[in-house]
Amino acid sequence: MKKLFNLIGLVLLLAGCKTRNIHFTIPERTLPASFQRYADTTTIADIRWRDYFGDAQLVALIDTALAYNPDLKIAMERIELANAGLLNARAALRPTVSGNVTPAIRRYGLYTMDGAGNISTEMTPGKMVPTDLPDFYVGLQSSWEIDMWKKLANRKNAAYQGFLASVEGARFVTTSLITEIALAYYELIALDNEREILTETVRNQEQVLDVIRYQKEAGRANELVVQQFKAQQLNTQTQEREVMQRISETENRINFLLGRYPQPIERNSALLFRDLPLEIASGVPSQMLLNRPDIRAANYQVQASRFDVKAANAEFLPSLTLTAGLGYQAFNPKFLLNTPASLAYSLVGGFTAPLINKRAIEARFSMAKSAQIIAMYEYQKAILNGYTEVVNELTRINALREISDLKTLQSQVLEESVETSNQLYTSAKATYLEVLIAQQNAIQAKLEMVDSHRKQLMASINIYRALGGGWK
Confidence of residue 19 (pLDDT cuts 50, 70, 90): low
Q: Which structural domain range is residue 129 located in?
A: 95-146+319-352
49 and 155 housed in the same domain: yes
Please report which helix (H) or strand (E) contains residue 194, including its range.
Answer: helix 151-217
Res 24: pLDDT:
85
299 and 195 housed in the same domain: yes
Residue 8 lies in a domain: no
Q: What is the pLDDT of residues 67-113, one digit of tens each?
A: 999 999 999 999 999 999 999 999 999 999 999 998 988 888 888 88
267 and 243 housed in the same domain: yes
Res 193: pLDDT:
94
Q: How far apart are CA 171 and CA 319, in angstroms?
A: 39
Residue 132 lies in a domain: yes
Confidence of residue 139 (pLDDT cuts 50, 70, 90): very high
247 and 278 housed in the same domain: yes
Strand partners of residue 97: 142
The residue among 302, 331, 352 that closes a domain is 352
- Would the pLDDT of 16 be above 70? no
152 and 131 housed in the same domain: no
Residue 363 and residue 312 in contact, taking contact as beta carbons nearer than 8 Å: no
Res 334: pLDDT:
85
Residues 6+ apart with CB under 8 A from 213: 226
- What pTM, to 2 d.p., does this model score? 0.85
Tally of residues, the chain:
472
277 and 199 housed in the same domain: yes
Residues 6+ apart with CB under 8 A from 165: 82, 297, 298, 300, 301, 304
- Would the pLDDT of 276 be above 80? no
Task: State the CATH number of the domain containing residue 371.
Answer: 1.20.1600.10
228 and 301 housed in the same domain: yes
| Backbone φ, ψ for residue 26 (5° rounding) | -130, 160
Residue 180 lies in a domain: yes
CA distances for 232 relative to 31, 34, 196, 242, 436, angstroms: 55, 51, 17, 15, 8
57 and 189 housed in the same domain: yes
Strand partners of residue 325: 141, 346
245 and 131 housed in the same domain: no
268 and 346 housed in the same domain: no
348 and 423 housed in the same domain: no
Q: What is the pLDDT of residues 281-304, one digit of tens each?
A: 888 999 999 999 999 999 999 999
Res 437: pLDDT:
79
The percent of residues in the chain predicted with pLDDT above 90, rounded, is 53
Q: What is the pLDDT of residues 385-412, one digit of tens each?
A: 999 999 999 989 888 888 888 888 888 8
Task: State the CATH number of the domain containing residue 107.
Answer: 2.20.200.10
**Mean pLDDT value across the chain:** 87
Handedness of CA 143, 149, 153, 159 (dihedral sign): negative
Q: What is the pLDDT of residues 332-343, one digit of tens each?
A: 888 888 888 889
- Number of domains forming the structure of the chain: 2
Residue 444 lies in a domain: yes
397 and 308 housed in the same domain: yes
Instruction: Calculate Rg over the CA atoms of the chain.
Output: 39
Residue 16 lies in a domain: no
* Range from 19-33, 177-191, 206-220, 244-258 carrying the lowest mean pLDDT: 206-220
Q: Which of 250, 277, 281 is nearest to 264 (CA)?
A: 250
